[in-house]
Structure 1
Amino acid sequence: MNIARTSPIAPEILNAEEHAHWKLAWLSTVDHKRIGILYLLFALLFFVVGGLEALFIRLQLAVPNNTLVGPDTFNALFTMHGTTMIFLVAMPALFGLANYFIPLQIGARDMAFPRLNALSAWVIPLGAALMHFSIFIGLPKTGWFAYTPLSEAPYSTGLGVDYWILGLVVLGIGSVATAVNIIATVLCMRAPGMTLRRLPLFTWINFVNAFIVLFALPILNVALVMLLMDRQLGAHFFYGTGGSPVLWQHLFWAFGHPEVYILALPAFGIISEVIPVFSRKPIFGYEFVAVSSVAIALLSFGVWAHHMFTVGMGHVADTFFVIASMLIAIPTGVKVLNWSATMYKGRIHFTVPMLYAIAFVIQFTAGGLSGVTHAQAALDWQTKNSYYLVAHFHYVAVGGVVFAILAGLHYWFPKISGRMLSERLGKWGFWFMVLGFNGTFGIQHFLGFVGMPRRVYTYPDFPNWGWMNLVSTIGACLMGVSAVLLVINLARALLRGKSAGANPWQAWTLEWATPSPPPPHNFDALPPLHSRRPLWDDANPTRPDPVVGQDAIAVPNRAHTGVWTLIASEAGFFGTLLFVFLYLNIHPAPGPNASVLELGRTLGFSVCLFASSFTLWRAEAAERAGSRGGTAGRLGLTVLLGAIFLGGQAYEYWELYQHGVTVSVNNFAASFFLLTGFHGFHVFAGLVALLIMLGLTLGRDFGSRRSPLVAIGLYWHFVDVVWVFVLLAAYILPRFL
């Protein structure tokens, strides 16, 4: 392809030290492409693990009254299968594709924060190791949803559940870090001319999806920490006097349903890239696809309780969530219409990526329609705990998300490896996957209708149950054959696959404007960017796409954008903590309450914290004025004031402990320590950052480099603002209830 070169990158962009870096082992890489591949390799490894778990589940259910595995083993299998496939397969695979291709699609050299990117990738094996350490001490048997009180210590003894919790917390932190990086990359790293309106849909949808991750994962982490406190410290958030198992369900599903779209939206992005390329047409209704993604992101946080119709929330709550659950089907349906209209009258090439994309559209639509039935509270009551729900979920998660990942893998593998996959092997794998998937889960709709409950390890020989389960198990085996063919195809392509060239599909987005695989710096030069299909414009100068908007772009400060994004997530985290505190204390329980807290002393050390914001602001002013001594002095005063606040909080904890006020006393004490403890941890983290900044300032470390003081200051001011709400909620408001 003849690309008109603009914005050349200087040949010295990689100095000798950086060239040496690229030769280091993959363990130390900060290259977004290698990190993306690591994500995909982790996902492939745990896909094998989760697939074997699923296969044993289906073998146990193949015939009535089977004894292949016992009930405890079965419960452990489906607990670990669900957790593995969601947190260790689907999310890493989608994050891996996003890591690899977002910088390429926007013409960037790397992600905004390469070291943070590497950290996010390596927390996956750490979280997985913590979760699977339970193999040696007793696997959790609570289901991936860990409903209380089953997941509480009296009913799930041993440490398996605790390590499972720690693993999920680690994975949640890594996911938030990835979301921060994606948002900062899209906003700050775009090439000249790559306006937000010209973003490829894969990049745009992942950008939107990052905001869901940003606000959903903190909710899960709060709930997991509370459950860990119940189990290890004797708190009673979800069990015992004052505890509420329903609170766990609200918190879990407030994360859990957005999580469905955390998986589905990137899948939509992949399909929105594949279908236009192999239909040889631009996407129909780009704006509708883009805006409907935002609508899905917003609505995803308002539908969680349709998982809880059987709890008995009341008619008003049920009606609200019925309406919200039906509304979210509209923007999803818009996308299906867009994809269908794109294929209509297109010159469709039935390559393996396109076959997976077409199957995705059909199967995801089926899963979405069965999902709408769960928006009907009365029908949901009848099917909620049956295999009908299992079928619905897997039509979304496997028929949708996994098929989209496979479409993306076959589409982008030539760019990643420089080699072409075998179309013949790929099509064999596709048909085994389609037949196996629909054989496994299609018939489960009917199993649900004839009354088979989910989460059972065996079943009596009721009419039709046996042969239907056998068909489902045979389908699972066919999916296993497809997975083996995929691995063979990947290995064959890497060893002796045909050379791919830069753009084997004649696609239109920027990742295809660089060699396959791309060099470490991604691009030597970029084509002109005036539309959403720059490579089409370059190849067809006499009939380019219409110019979209103006060429000028506004690029915000990278560090400030990253901190503001982190602050948004932290605001959601503390918002959840404040909600929990108010929920548990709106009706005061017997025992210690806010009257045991010394309000006057607390106000005293609160003044120190608030004053530290002023001194830090003055330190920023001194730095702008070029006064190193003034900056260091005011930073030192800020650290001192923050340390006084932490000392006051530690003294308060000690006094409460001396008077018998501990986490296990009642829910006021437990929620107080939870809320103020996390705030104190954030103050401590801020003090560490300020001390590092003080040391660098005294050592004249910055020179011509940009100082991070303003970014650190944003975080510190946020922590101070949070304390205003904590002070009101924990110390002042309860005195008037």
Structure 2
Amino acid sequence: MKSWLTTTDHKRIGLLYFWTAFVFFLLGGIEALVIRLQLAQPSGHVVSAETYNQLFTMHGTTMVFLALMPLSASFFNYIVPLQIGARDVAFPRLNAFSYWVFLLGGLFLNASWFVGPLFKAGMLNVAPDGGWFGYANLTERQFSPGPNIDFWLLGLQILGISSLAAGFNFIVTILNLRAPGLKLMRLPVFTWMTLVTQFLIITAFPVITVGLVFLMFDRFFGAHFYVHGAGATPLLWQHLFWLFGHPEVYILILPAMGIVSEVLPTFARKPLFGYTVVVYSGILIGFMGWGVWSHHMFAVGLGPIADSVFAATTMLIAVPTGVKIFNWIATLWGGDIRGTTALHFAVGFIAMFIIGGLSGVSHASPPADLQQTDTYYVVAHIHYVLFGGTIMGLFAGIYYWWPKMTGRLLSEPLGKWHFWLQFIGMNVAFFPMHFIGLLGMPRRIYTYSPDLGVSDLNLVSTVGAFLIAVSLLVFIANLWRTRSRGETASNDPWGGATLEWSIPSPPPVYNFSVIPTITSRLPRWRTELHAPMQDPPATPPGPIHVPGGSWWPMVAAFGLPLMALAPLTHTLWLAFVGAGVLIVGIYGWAFEPFEV
């Protein structure tokens, strides 16, 4: 237990990220099932309006910040150092700090479900209830007097620190720790997309931090950053939030695109079609993602010039995305296809992401968007992108890299059952939402009239949601079975082209017995110019230094939720205690000899 609590090994931290994020993913899924039960029929009475508001707020916040981002981070941690021929990340203790801050931030947010009695309220009464986007001026103290929004804004600031710490760490790792000969244009696409994602994280999260600090000053110190009556504008929050929020969508989807770009070549037995174009289109998506945020705001009256500009940029960003899709299809074309579960999820990703992308293009037109905004059409769009896209891509990565991470192969028959149940379930759940929205059902309402004519479609959608739940039970059964009865994995069970397949499964603590020298973009495959590389020897020729464990990252991380409790409970001394714990942790960290 101590070795896990103090670990600075990127592989163990990757597994900690995976299991923690997967638990939060299940929690967000349970919240979604309760939402769907409430909406299964008109005038539902499963939960009250107040609880419903908390459910959809926590569902969105949990899935975006506590499930999808950290599930991607589990692959960043585990796979990227292996793909670039490194022994660990650049800053191993900062990596551990990032994980503990994420865990404590997630627990802080979810504690809001249970601590109502401490705030003289009932259970299930003080969870965040202003939507995952927290629109002003609903979040002002006048309209949300309880601690609900306080939990949300403080929890997100804690999670932002975790993301920023990881972002800087991986940028330095990828740029500085590559094996000899591993030029940037020889990097695997997953590592490239990770690099682009980290630059988006370190530039987007400061924007939401500014917005949250303004909101904190409004709520705790009587400022008026978003109060119209004081000469400010609530639209400032929308601009700050979506200036972060749209790059955030690409933070969520680019890692999945990178995973798919690794899985398809391996199971088509041919190199990725147009590698250079795929890399540049990923970089272009990262840049262009900063120029489209106001398409979330076509309904606020920005005027014809702004609407026209953001309509054009939103249509333009479909171009690099479309380029990737054509390259993925061309990679499969004429390949020696092996229909593994990982390939099923990768191809499912392409199909579902196309549907999500097409409904997104319909939001690029302001007149169409005015009809669709705040209806279930938008809910359908975001779920096709983030469930059909990100989740499908992440599951492709899980089935692909699980043997490398654990030394055992997941069951292929169970994997196929998982895929088809999830694929059918998500389409049954989310496709009807396009029609529910176009027929006029607003999002974020806890009940609806039978006269609206969407009762049957809502019931179908709820059935689909429970089908997704069944598919996840199959996946959990697969994980459980694989622990004891899974087939033992060799170094390279799939015949992959990249460096992680040249070392044992799971890798030793030092990763590579000898750091390889790279001469090709596909080092383990024979190409016209290069023979496949020799795998590193099984045992290192000499002793290898690896970082030891440390308690200090965890100690420092504990200071942050303690500081957040101070404004939440209006207890000043807690702020000093939290700051003291943080400072002691940082000093202990700074003066600790970092040897084995």
Aligned to 1:289: 278
Distance 1:527 1:351 in 2: 29
After TM superposition, give the deviation of residue 72 of structure 1 in Å: 0.7
Aligned to 1:485: 474
Contact residue 278 and residue 348 of structure 1 kept, 8 A = yes
In the TM superposition, what are the counterparts of 1:313-392 in structure 2 within 5 Å?
313-392=302-381
Which amino acid is 1:85 matched to? M
1:243 maps onto 2:232 in alignment: yes
Q: Which moved more, 1:126-135 or 1:311-320?
A: 126-135
1:171 maps onto 2:159 in alignment: yes
Match of 1:206 among 179, 187, 194: 194
Aligned to 1:511: 500
Distance 1:233 1:467 in 2: 48
After TM superposition, give the deviation of residue 456 of structure 1 in Å: 0.8
Distance 2:5 2:84 in 1: 26
Contact residue 204 and residue 243 of structure 2 kept, 8 A = yes
Aligned to 1:418: 407
Q: CA RMSD in A?
A: 2.2
Match of 1:108 among 73, 77, 86: 86
Aligned residues: 534
- Deviation track 1:547-592 (CA, whole Å, cap 9, x = no partner) reads xxxxxxxxxxxxxxxxxxxxxxxxxxxxxxxxxxxxxxxxxxxxxx
Contact residue 229 and residue 235 of structure 1 kept, 8 A = yes
Aligned to 2:99: 121
Match of 1:55 among 22, 33, 41: 33
Contact residue 250 and residue 286 of structure 2 kept, 8 A = yes
Contact residue 274 and residue 408 of structure 1 kept, 8 A = yes
After TM superposition, give the deviation of residue 460 of structure 1 in Å: 0.6
In the TM superposition, what are the counterparts of 1:252-267 in structure 2 within 5 Å?
252-267=241-256
Aligned to 2:46: 68
Quick one: structure 1 residues 241 and 347, their matched pair in 2 at CA, closer, same or farther if it must change by over 3 Å?
same
After TM superposition, give the deviation of residue 544 of structure 1 in Å: 4.0
1:84 maps onto 2:73 in alignment: no
3-state SS in 2 of match to 1:535: coil
Distance 1:481 1:129 in 2: 26
Aligned to 2:72: 94
Distance 1:541 1:28 in 2: 46
TM-score, with structure 1 as normaliser: 0.70
Which amino acid is 1:330 matched to? V
Q: Rg larger in 1 or in 2?
A: 1
In the TM superposition, what are the counterparts of 1:443-592 in structure 2 within 5 Å?
443-462=432-451, 464-537=453-526, 544=531
Contact residue 130 and residue 164 of structure 1 kept, 8 A = no
Tell which has more relative contact order, 1 or 2 (C-alpha 8 A, sep 6+). 2
In the TM superposition, what are the counterparts of 1:544-693 in structure 2 within 5 Å?
544=531
Which amino acid is 1:114 matched to? P
Match of 1:302 among 291, 296, 305: 291
Aligned to 2:551: none
1:36 maps onto 2:7 in alignment: no
Q: Which moved more, 1:528-537 or 1:207-216?
A: 528-537
Which amino acid is 2:12 matched to? R
Contact residue 179 and residue 517 of structure 2 kept, 8 A = no
Distance 2:162 2:190 in 1: 21
3-state SS in 1 of match to 2:512: coil
Match of 1:396 among 385, 390, 397: 385
Contact residue 101 and residue 511 of structure 1 kept, 8 A = yes
Q: Which moved more, 1:338-347 or 1:154-163?
A: 154-163
Distance 1:278 1:530 in 2: 23
Q: Which moved more, 1:57-66 or 1:154-163?
A: 154-163
After TM superposition, give the deviation of residue 526 of structure 1 in Å: 4.6
In the TM superposition, what are the counterparts of 1:271-290 in structure 2 within 5 Å?
271-290=260-279
Contact residue 527 and residue 534 of structure 1 kept, 8 A = no
Which amino acid is 2:167 matched to? A
3-state SS in 1 of match to 2:524: helix
Aligned to 1:571: none
TM-score, with structure 2 as normaliser: 0.87
After TM superposition, give the deviation of residue 309 of structure 1 in Å: 0.4
Aligned to 1:569: none
What is the percentage of aligned positions where both structures have the same residue? Answer: 50
3-state SS in 1 of match to 2:488: coil
Quick one: structure 1 residues 463 and 154, their matched pair in 2 at CA, closer, same or farther if it must change by over 3 Å?
closer
Which amino acid is 1:243 matched to? A
Contact residue 527 and residue 535 of structure 1 kept, 8 A = no
Which amino acid is 1:48 matched to? L
After TM superposition, give the deviation of residue 206 of structure 1 in Å: 0.5
